[in-house]
Structure 1
Amino acid sequence: MPRPPKPLDEPLRLATLQGLGVLDTEAEERFDRISRMAQRLFEVPICLVSLVDAKRQWFKSSLGKVRISLRGTLADTAIGVQGI
């Protein structure tokens, strides 16, 4: 499957993400609150909050039985979809 083109605003998205100062940091309660709220709202057993930079995906919160052992992610595909 060919990779989708990068969105035109990708440099701005990456700069904004870096500016937040949340990559390479410990878990934070504020992200766990978002996960708990989404878990209740959508009635799902597992909920994750992840941030995607240019080369990796960083999990800031995970609730439920989660085993993450992925070599790669669908980040390129997901970010390439308009509206996400």
Structure 2
Amino acid sequence: MTNAELQVAALLAEGCTNPEIAARTVWSRSTIQTHVSNILRNLCLTSQAELAREFTHRSQESLPMSIGQVGDVGSMHFGAE
């Protein structure tokens, strides 16, 4: 996953909606949806809720997560980019 996709996944795991993610980043809602779609496809997931659960599960195994630490999520393994 790209750093942008990891940041979107982290914000989804925090419970943010797509519009909230757009407000907290420099990306448009359309860009957020593109990132979400790419993540779901690459990880063979079917919903944002499933993505949030998977991200939370994996982040608990790897490192403590908060948006302040999102630059560190590159060390997490989520499959092919």
| Bigger RCO (CA 8 Å, 6+ sep) | 2
Q: Rg larger in 1 or in 2?
A: 1
User: Structure 1 length as normaliser, TM-score?
Assistant: 0.28
Greater fraction of residues in helix: 2
